[in-house]
Amino acid sequence: MTDTIPACYNVSIVNPNQFWKTDKVWKTELPILAIQISFTVLLSRLFSIIYKPLHQTRLISQISVGFLLTPPLLGRFTTIFEFIFPVNGIVNVEVLSHIGLIYYAFLSGLEMNLNNILNVNKKAASIAIAGIIFPILVAPCLYVLFRKVYGHSTMFPLEESTNNAYILWTLILTVTGFPVVAHTLSELKLLYTGLGKEALTAAMISDTYGWILFILFVPFSINGKGVIYTVLCTILFIVVCIFVVRPLIQWFIDRKADKDEWNDNQLLFIIMGVLACSCISDFLGSHAIVGAFVFGLILPHGKFAELFMSISDDFVGGFLVPLFFSGTGMRLMLIAIFSQESWPYIILIIILLCAIKILSTLFVTFFFGMRILDGLTLGLILNNKGAMALIMLNIAWDKMIFSVPTYAVITSAVLLMTIVVSPVINVVYKPRQKFEQNKLKTIQKLRVDAELRIIACVHNTRQAASMISIIECFNATRVSPVHVFALYLVELTGRVAALVATHIGKFCCQFGEQNLTRSQEELESIHNTIDALGEAYDAIRVETLNVVSAYTTIHEDIYHSAEEKRTSLILLPFHKQLTLEGTLEVTSVVYKNINQNVMQGAPCSVGIFIDRDFGLVPKINLHICVVFVGGPDDREALAIAWRMARRSGTQLSVVRILLLGEAAEVDALVHDEAQGILSTVIDTDKQKELDEEYISTFRLTVVNNNDSISYSEIDVHSGQDIPTVLNEIEKFGCDIYIVGQGNCRNSKVFSKLLEWCECLELGVIGDILVSNNFGSRSSVLVVQQYGYGGMDFGNNLNQKAINKDIFESVV
């Protein structure tokens, strides 16, 4: 680049025989480095907060910090720029940022699983390959077009040598950033949809091919003579690492991880191994990140990977890497584009650069019969650029392969590709709207001969066994089979790509994989438990899936899974579990928040199962009790019990509570507070008609023709009578209560009792039955019917703690 001006400064050598050759390290250079790190990290965190509504990745925030220091912005204030990045501080920050880049490449290799890459489906592989071949063919043409359109400029001239520029220009447009794709899918809650899984697999393949192309072709652009020997030596180095070093190091690491014998000194050897492999690949003429990536790739992807990432990810990704990627934004000179008269045509070329991979994806998805909208969304997702593209941009700048205008154009295209993905998908692809239109996803509306599809959410193996005990009661037959989807909910605590790569597809315990992570072990145990259910019953099909997401938004992943699987019921585990003393104690308050979030907007009916050793109850003589007050939730509860009662040997007792006098007064505030995605102001008279119709059908159909089913009615005149009535019902005993959540009841009595409930998601009846003071040993299933809006749990949270003692005294 002819417009580059070298900067020089004096260095005083005071201690030539010591490690630190100057005496000003602690006084000058270290404070400068601390200021640079603090400035970059703090601003990148600030930009992350600003960009959060747009679901942008951290790379965009880090690049924004550097762009803020360009001449049009803070860079025009020379004093500020020289204070943050003085000339004598550039070398230190460059060295530290490249160390961070090396370890970032190592973590990228550590989170990528070769077994998953080698066992992919044909569609994902075809999409990934097309996304590489098509840009390789088209990108050089767009580079030629850009040079012709840009013309000549004395201020910002184009590069004279174009051969190396062709290579890097093309490679930058072919790569896809797998970590960025995983982050985008996770933020948009598409990770566990069919489209999301295809995108994730294709991105992993594309990222792998991107590394292969980087290893094969980047040396041609950065080396002169002998580049063939560089490539061959690098390939030989990789082969030795995979087939010689990998078995040895995996045996050692797996033995240590299995016995939990790791200490800081042993982890230090791993860190030194990263630097050693980086030095070898750099010595061979390739880039230093190649060795770091290969070293991460050959290490075991089990307990060790989880341990090392948990230790190093925050420091590498939070402090070192921002220093490197902020430099990408610092070199972005948009004035080089807009200073030309042909800038509208240059903008058009940038848009065409963004469209290459989208068009190739659309073509392949059309060939596989996918919808155009799905193909467009998939193309947008795979258009995400990650660290690999930015690394090649920095190589092109450092080696003076790209001029300022070329760098500005290709960087602008890369950033535009990544920035627009989330906002555009939010506009054009909203699967959330699909299930808002269908109000028939209930057990009550399900045909007798239709397949019942259930999603059972679990956090551990104990809950999986609990879910099996209740699913067994749903009377699966060949005429009306049951399809169970067990969702193992995993909290996202680290790198999205790392956890997703761990749980993508079915893991296998091959060599080097025997030391599974804790979540993998739990998934394997849950998988075996659920499979046992399918093997025991011919009419029950089972699938075990997993969802990796932040607990605050994991309910949205459950929504999309329920919609994609077309389920009629979501079963959730209660946040309390039975102790040896026979009482219920809190397992995790977070589980309660998840249950409440799911109930507020689920695309089908929801049930919360409170297990009191229900698995020990013999299902041959099962006794079910339904407490029916009225409303859609109670009708759904009766529909579930009615289905279970068809099972031979099952006894069903339906107790209807008739509200009379004071208890029958309507609460007008319910009309004003109705909330939820399908909120409906309940017509009390209409609901009574529906209740009478359903109860009459139930009595005429089964009660009069089946001795194992009984029906009774109890009058209630005030709120104080409800606990009394429930105590009377408890005296008769049962194995499980099935009750409605009762959010849509317009009774003033229930509205007042609800304010005293400890667990609002269970409703009044369910909360009383679950209370330890009530003294019941029966399990409880609380049901909310889809179609009438979820409950708003925010209104009563402040009163819950005050009224808890009063409620328990009433019980």
CATH code at position 742: 3.40.50.12370
Answer yes or no: do 403 and 480 share one domain.
no
Is residue 116 in a domain?
Answer: yes
Q: How many CB atoms lie within 10 A of CB 409?
A: 26
Residue in 529, 347, 372, 541 with CA at minimum distance from that of residue 454: 541
Q: How far apart are CA 380 and CA 382, in angstroms?
A: 6
Is residue 17 in a domain?
Answer: no
- What pLDDT shows up at residue 803? 42
In one-letter notation, the amino acid at residue 646 is R
Q: How many CB atoms lie within 10 A of CB 504?
A: 20
Q: How far apart are CA 218 and CA 395, in angstroms?
A: 9
Structure tokens belonging to residue 496 = 């999205």
- What pLDDT shows up at residue 694? 92
- What pLDDT shows up at residue 627? 94
Tell me the helix, strand and coil percentages in the chain, rounded to 5: 60, 10, 30
Q: How far apart are CA 629 and CA 607, in angstroms?
A: 17
Answer yes or no: do 584 and 704 share one domain.
yes
Between CA 547 and CA 551, with CA 548 as vertex, the angle to 5 degrees is 100
Asked if residue 669 lies in contact with residue 788, where contact means CB atoms within 8 angstroms, the answer is no
Is residue 155 in a domain?
Answer: yes
> What DSSP string describes 56-86?
--HHHHHHHHHHHTSTTTGGG-HHHHHHHS-
Answer yes or no: do 202 and 155 share one domain.
yes
Environment class of 371 (CB within 10 Å of its CB; exposed 0-12, middle 13-18, buried 19+)? exposed
Is residue 36 in a domain?
Answer: yes
Q: How many CB atoms lie within 10 A of CB 257?
A: 21
Q: How far apart are CA 198 and CA 656, in angstroms?
A: 50
Is residue 287 in a domain?
Answer: no
Answer yes or no: do 331 and 416 share one domain.
yes
- What pLDDT shows up at residue 145? 93
Cα separation values, 460 from 391, 465, 553, Å: 41, 9, 19
Q: How far apart are CA 190 and CA 211, in angstroms?
A: 26
Asked if residue 419 lies in contact with residue 412, where contact means CB atoms within 8 angstroms, the answer is no
Answer yes or no: do 485 and 421 share one domain.
no
- What pLDDT shows up at residue 292? 93
Residues 6+ apart with CB under 8 A from 30: none
Answer yes or no: do 382 and 453 share one domain.
no
Helices H, strands E: what count in the chain?
Answer: 32, 12
Entry pTM: 0.81
Q: How far apart are CA 618 and CA 469, in angstroms?
A: 10
Structure tokens belonging to residue 280 = 């070898």
Residue in 192, 112, 170, 195 with CA at minimum distance from that of residue 379: 195
Residue range of the domain that includes 98? 26-235+318-428
Of 394, 428, 462, the position where a domain reaches its end is: 428
Provide the CB-side half-sphere exposure for 234 (13 A, CA).
32
Q: How far apart are CA 651 and CA 658, in angstroms?
A: 23
Domain count, the chain: 2
Asked if residue 487 lies in contact with residue 498, where contact means CB atoms within 8 angstroms, the answer is no
Answer yes or no: do 647 and 718 share one domain.
yes
Q: How many CB atoms lie within 10 A of CB 43?
A: 19
Cα-Cα-Cα-Cα dihedral sign, residues 158, 160, 166, 171: negative
Is residue 801 in a domain?
Answer: no
Q: How far apart are CA 767 and CA 760, in angstroms?
A: 7
With tokens 């019990």, the residue in question is 641
Of 398, 428, 458, the position where a domain reaches its end is: 428
Structure tokens belonging to residue 251 = 């045996």
pLDDT along the chain (811 residues), means of 10: 56 64 69 87 91 87 90 80 78 86 88 69 86 92 92 82 87 90 85 84 88 88 79 92 86 68 72 92 90 89 74 80 88 87 92 92 89 90 90 89 92 92 82 48 87 94 93 91 93 65 48 58 89 92 89 90 90 92 89 93 92 86 92 93 90 91 69 43 75 90 78 87 89 92 78 82 91 90 81 46 41 42
With tokens 């259910």, the residue in question is 533
What values do phi and psi take at 627, rounded to 5? -95, 110
- Which CATH number is 325's domain given? 1.20.1530.20
Answer yes or no: do 55 and 79 share one domain.
yes
Answer yes or no: do 359 and 495 share one domain.
no
Question: In the 8-state DSSP scheme, what is residue 452?
Answer: E
Question: In the 8-state DSSP scheme, what is residue 49?
Answer: H
Beta strands in 529-678, from DSSP E residues, in sequence order: 540-549, 569-573, 576-578, 584-586, 605-610, 623-628, 651-659
Which secondary structure element, helix H or strand E, spans residue 450, and what is its range? Answer: none
Q: How many CB atoms lie within 10 A of CB 773?
A: 13
Which secondary structure element, helix H or strand E, spans residue 490, and what is its range? Answer: strand 482-491
Is residue 186 in a domain?
Answer: yes
> What DSSP string describes 202-250?
HHHHHHHHHHHHHHHHHHHHH--TTHHHHHHHHHHHHHHIIIIIHHHHH
Residues 6+ apart with CB under 8 A from 100: 316, 319, 320, 321, 323, 324
Structure tokens belonging to residue 125 = 């592989």
Strand partners, 738: 626, 781
Answer yes or no: do 402 and 455 share one domain.
no
- What pLDDT shows up at residue 144? 92
Answer yes or no: do 619 and 494 share one domain.
yes
Asked if residue 292 lies in contact with residue 274, where contact means CB atoms within 8 angstroms, the answer is yes
Cα separation values, 752 from 539, 672, 800, Å: 44, 16, 12
3-class DSSP state for residue 106? helix
Length of the chain: 811
Strand partners, 652: 624, 709
Strand partners, 709: 652
Is residue 291 in a domain?
Answer: no
Residue in 218, 93, 95 with CA at minimum distance from that of residue 168: 218
Strand partners, 626: 654, 738
Answer yes or no: do 421 and 488 share one domain.
no
